[in-house]
Amino acid sequence: LLKDEPVAEGKGSKAKGFVFDFTDKCVVVTGGNRGIGYEFSRAAAKAGARVAIIYRSSKDAHEKAENISKEFGVKVKAYQCDVSDSEKVNSTMEFIDEDIGPITGLIANAGVAVVKPALELTAEDFHKQFNVNVLGVFNSARAAANLWIDTKQGGSIVITSSMSSRIYNQAGPGKPLTQVFYNSSKGAVSNLVKGLAAEWAQYKIRVNALSPGYVNTDQTRHMEPEIREWQAQSTILGRFAEPEEMTGQAVLLLSDYGSYMTGGEYFVDGGKLAW
């Protein structure tokens, strides 16, 4: 579906253009202002969609939205909203729908990672982790679904989960540092997808999870060099991904080519699970 060859050897995607036509679509990307979400926003705009970027506290989200808008000649706007606040998510989604909608797709991508040994984790850490990664995803998905149920238009929801819904070893040899709350939150959303897909198919709403392997973003910058190297070598491709390498699967799931895909979890992990 991409015009150019995907790369296997390194430095990110060299794909130059999409055959997807999103000119009648409007896509909301939570956490769309940086990291993987930023590339999701760019990819949707590149395919011709109007894009709404939801951010929490970043200072440059509006500027970034403007830059994407100029780059691809489509409407791209940023909206501040903490996804863990369900009232605010509902009102923001309604506002976006009026402002640049009708919304046709959602990438519920905003996420945080609490990285601590299990014995040091607190109840506060639990709430911090699950309020964004699980409740925030649910709030976003439900707000979009409510709009689509009202209009009977249907839509597609892509939830950014993680390969850590399946893989727990994110440490290096002899360094048992894990992310048990983070990994559990991703296991939770990968399951959430199946329930939402089943309940909302009657409204023409498809729900899928995209589960990245390691991607070079702020979230992985804290990793110690030897753990990073060990983890990179434990994928078939022998490296971390660049954020834009997640976009092909997301765009496919949002597009009409993805019309038979629902309730699924799609791993974009450089072969980590297969290794």
Cβ proximity to ligand NDP: between 104 and 160 the closer is: 160
- Using CA of residue 123, residue 143, residue 183, residue 219, what is the dihedral sign? negative
Q: Map tokens 């015009």 to a residue.
A: 3
CA nearest 209: which of 154, 258, 250, 148? 250
Establish whether 186 is a catalytic residue.
yes
Reduced to 3 states, what is the DSSP secondary structure of residue 167?
A: coil
Catalytic, 257? Answer: no
Smallest gap, in angstroms, from Cβ of residue 77 to ligand NDP?
15
Of the candidates 38, 182, 214, 266, the residue annotated as catalytic is 182
Q: Which is nearer to ligand NDP, 160 or 235 (CB)?
A: 160
Closest C-alpha among 195, 6, 223, 20 to residue 105:
20
Out of 38, 186, 190, 211, which one is annotated catalytic? 186
Question: In the complex, which residues of this chain contact ligand NDP (CB under 6 A)?
Answer: 30-31, 33-37, 54-58, 82-84, 109-113, 132, 136, 160, 162, 212, 214-215, 217-220
Question: Considering the complex, what minimum distance in angstroms separates the CB of residue 134 from ligand NDP?
Answer: 11
Q: Least distance (Å) from ligand NDP to the CB of residue 202? A: 28
- Residue 163 beta carbon to ligand NDP: minimum distance, rounded to whole angstroms: 6
Judge contact between 190 and 137, C-beta under 8 A: no
Among the listed residues 214, 161, 171, 216, the one whose alpha carbon sits nearest the alpha carbon of residue 191:
161
Catalytic site residues? 162, 182, 186
